[in-house]
A and B are shown apart, each in its own frame.
Chain A
Amino acid sequence: MTMNITSETPKKIRAVLVDDEQLARQVLREFVAAHADMEIVAECSNGFEAVKAVTEQKPDLIFLDVQMPKLDGFEVLELIGRETAVVFVTAYDNYAIKAFEVHAVDYLLKPFSSDRFDAALTRAKQRLSGAATQKTPAAADLAASARPPAQYLDRIAVREGSQVSIIPVAKLDYAEAQDDYVALASAGKKHLKQQTISNLETSLDPARFMRIHRSYIVNLERVAKVEPYGKDTHVAVLSTGVQIPVSRAGYARLKTFLDR
């Protein structure tokens, strides 16, 4: 017998369950079990495991808790990219719910019924089959809109392969735009993250970080001095010795800060 490649048997939807509470995973497992076309490829109890599982298993769908040890749901989402459909599962969170309504495939509020679960699953399937034309928003947008107003990031999660690093913003020297990525310079190393520099700028505290150039954001605490460089351009010299170009607009902004 040879395998019939054109077989009509539908491919199973491969799902990952992420929740730090064993009982919460149990509910999801039970509801998934009612669907023969679904398969659970991994269960994770924290954010690191989730990123690892998603990177290695490349599932179609994740049920993702928001509040977890190590990495929260939004950080996980930022790190796994957009290929996977995400259904958030959470108990109660004003800001997050607003964000879900705008951006996510669907969200389940604990406790939820199996009917509600099935409805979320249907929406996720539509998304997977491409029936839904709604475009998947950037994960970072979702994460940003789920933050309470006037609250800035205090750490940035970066994934290299299935490894996750956490950079506290206090240890971030500067960020440099590189096409669709930003390079985050911290403690003598550079970490690449898929995010636009403008997006990163909005999530950093403007009292601590400044966009001094189209391609650069700098940690103001690290700026040792600003020197002229050629005709009406400047460079910022960081305490680590690194020189960063300063645009004309950036210089004006930096000057008002330094004069203060």
Chain B
Amino acid sequence: MHPIFSEFRRLAMYLVVWLFIGLLLAYLLTVSHDISPRDALVLALPLCLFYSFLCLSAWYSCRGRLPDKFTMGRLLATHITTGFFAAIIWTFAAAGLAHGLSKTTMFAGLSQRFRPEIPLIFCTGILLYLLSVAFYYIVISFEASRDAEARVMKASVLARDAELKALKAQVNPHFLFNSLNSISALTSSDPAKAREMCILLGDFLRRTLGLGEKAAIPLDEELSLIRAFLAVEKVRFGARIQMEEDIDQDALSVPVPPLLLQPLVENAVVHGIANLVEGGYIRLGIHTRDGIVSIDVANSFDPDAPAKRRSGVGLANVRQRLQTRYGNLASFAVKTEGDCFRVALTLPAEVEVQPA
């Protein structure tokens, strides 16, 4: 499709521009010789209307000869040649029009008076054609850059999707190896407990499977996942973990991104409980008010604990995923008060989970 015809607005703009060119040409015709403004207008306007359509053909010639595929010399040669022929057609049309008009009484003798203007018409013809060529090259490069921009945007969206997938599907290998070690310990001392731990671990892993595919799960499901995780960790840490929950029932059906809270609870264990000889608490509070869900994960920790390795990754991950899904509608804050570490987040209570 020719770009000028793709939208009515463009065609109108195009004709308006050529109207101005026609007025300009009429003025040029009146300057030097004895053509009256009325005669000039009657000649120039129809001529420019005709030429505006002739110059549309420059588009096809430009599209077929992109600057990156041809040398400058060849491009110039092609377009100047084409322009030359277009200008000849235009000049003949002009002469024909003047000849035709001079047959009427109103414009008698116009053909004679017009003759000295023929070189002017011819040169303007070439220039206007080359101007059209330049215009179409600008259009082409503009569209190419817009395409490129769209492609870059699309690529970044795809990359973010891929990143999210990678972020979702993470079960900490540390957790897995330590749990296996606990099972190894229990097999000789307490085989029944070892079996129980295998089942708990299996239960947790099964729940995490396939979560990466889902955009959201009900909060209830995320809580089951957390409880399964803590059940495993309680075998390792024994009485060192105290879990306290305070959860509004009407929050349970709210959809949330999968594995949104589990990393926070895992952090509480790895960076909190694991560094406390006597253990500590994890408090999970979930409350809804005015369509907003507030989630609060607090845990005790040792402010003088050994330097943490790999810290902050889980938190950054959660923050980023909240931001991606909810934008400004969600908030995320981390606070340290004495020996209490607290992550507070809010998100909009969306009504329904889309079927997976």
Contact = CB atoms under 8 A, between A and B. Distances in A.
Contacts of A166: 304
Interface in A71-127: 71-72, 75, 91-93, 95, 109-112
A69 B274 contact: yes
A47 B180 CA distance: 23
Contacts of B277: 20, 45-46, 69-70
Contacts of B183: 111
Nearest to A73: B306
A148 B304 CA distance: 20
Contact of B184 (A70, A95, A111, A155): A111
Interface in A26-57: 26-27, 30, 45-47
Name B's interface SS: helix
Interface residues of B, number: 27
B177 A153 contact: no
Contacts of A95: 309
A93 to B, nearest CB: 7
A148 B185 contact: no
Contacts of A68: 275, 306
Contacts of B184: 27, 110-112
A111 B188 CA distance: 14
B276 A111 contact: no
A67 B237 CA distance: 14
B309 A148 contact: yes
B31 interface: no
Given A20-B274, A69-B277, A111 B306 contact: no
Nearest to A89: B181
Interface in B250-270: none
B81 interface: no
Interface string A213-239: 000000000000000000000000000
Contacts of A69: 274-277, 302, 305-306
B338 interface: no
B182 interface: yes
Contacts of B186: 23
Interface of B: 173-174, 177-178, 180-186, 188-189, 235-238, 274-277, 302, 304-307, 309
25 contacts: A20-B274, A21-B181, A21-B182, A23-B182, A24-B181, A26-B189, A30-B189, A46-B277, A67-B309, A68-B306, A69-B275, A69-B305, A69-B306, A70-B302, A70-B306, A71-B306, A75-B306, A91-B173, A91-B177, A93-B309, A109-B177, A110-B180, A111-B177, A111-B180, A111-B181
